[in-house]
Chains A and B, each alone.
Chain A
Amino acid sequence: MASRLAFANAPTDSRFVFVLLRGALDGLSAVPPVGDPDYASLRGQIALAKAGEGAALPLEGPFGLHPALTFMHKSYAAKELAVLHAIATPYRERSHFDAQNVLESGDLKPHGSTSGWINRALTALPANKTREAGVALGANVPLAMRGPAEVASWSPTKTASLDESTLARITDLYAHDPLLSQRLADALESDAIASEAQAAAESEAGDAAMTMAAKPNAVASDASERRNFNARYVETARAAAGFLKRDDGPRVAMFDTTGWDTHANEGGAQGQLSLRLRGLDAALAALKESLGPTWRHTVVLVATEFGRTAAINGTRGTDHGTGAAAFLLGGAVSGGRVLADWPGLARNNLYESRDLRPTMDLRAVMKGVLQDHLGVPTSALNSGVFPESANVRALDGLIRS
């Protein structure tokens, strides 16, 4: 079938995955600055300990990693994780929806653009690379991936009952409808790729199950892990890997996760946020595992729309804030570092006396990755991809040379 999603002979090996955490991840819990003198008192009962049971996993400087993020901590040790802190988009208000809009559009203000920075970056690739396309894991394409470059969305659909004749007739019926004909072609193409990937995964899983059968306890714990509501993010990550590891597949994938808006009962080493983080950690581990050798060429950016208040509120949670934490992960990342110009949590250092002060522009990180990993030219980064951003320099050295 003819489709613009044919990625034949994509010329770059580099893969990029964007994971958007909607709802504002609490960066001060995900990457707690346990060595900051003001941290424990601001955080009260949700503060993570420096040592002992449920302590933060050690990173360099005053920083730790939430104990739920065990895979990420291993990646840090393997120099495949760079942690970014006190980071923000140009947006300085506290609306989730506007902040996500800015983060996804790459623009200076909310609702200034109907396309996203990833899509525009795809169109700005050097001529011989323009056949690369992206895939959004979900029923619809999020703003960051919308725009002129062809991007498909994929999520599991039961198409078993649809016969070829009906599909052919619908394809004909859409012939004069550019939007629907494009969408249908993309969907069918993605479905074909995904079912191949799934078949491969099932045969791998079959092997694994046979190995496990010898170890009944391992099977039991695996089963209870599956009951976890986070399991769906693991599936999503595996599906993303299925697309990305194909030689002729898309080079860029995106998925998003929700549930980070922890206004009440956020929890510390255990609790609501810790469950979410465990799910994220498991999804990223699954991505690495499923990508196999392709992981070497992969960069994953995990980011959120803004951080949360430095102090806990009256309901053992945190409210909308400013400076956030983000992560760069992957075999192509020059990791094992925390990149932060730490402003400190003393009251007079806080932004508007309440939030972690942002000292790094998230766009500098995005630019660094797009430039050094995917080869997007600087001129495009400074205008088309991130409008009016010439003053924001791409961060160097994020990618392993």
Chain B
Amino acid sequence: MKNAEEIFDILKKEFGDSILSLDKDTPTEPIISVDPLLVHKISKFLRENEELNFDSLMCLSGVDDANGTKVKDDDGLESIQGGTLSVYYHLHSIELKHKITIKVATPREDAKVESVENVWKCADWHEREAYDMYGIIFLNHPDLRRILMPYDWEAGYPLRKDYKNPEFYQGMKVPY
């Protein structure tokens, strides 16, 4: 069993600057931030290293950090420019009984994160959901389609903070 600092040190030794920070002042599990374009390699290491042995991805979630600047257009509609979207990976080692949360932050306008689908198979649908709700592109994902919204949904990504619901979808009125 390893605590968060030990896990952070092991990762830091292996990957150096791609491991960005360790945040322990959270009411939840400690969070290690890593580079979104190296998360596949790091995940593979987390899973295969004997001292870490993270054999279970408990959850993978997208988050809209909404830390950009709010811009109002001519119609008074607000949108967010800049800032980041994040993906959180909640990992658990059933064998060694320790947990950690990995976080990647990616720019809102060009949200790209490496897929970890071939490290933890369950990431497949979780990543599709994060793509569906936030528009985060998971590179090398085998089947990156919408999973909950209709396949022909063109109004954007519903859980983004600046999302606007459309008036009509296929001739059906959407607002109340």
Do A and B pair up? The answer is no
Q: Name B's A-contacting residues (CB within 8 A).
A: none
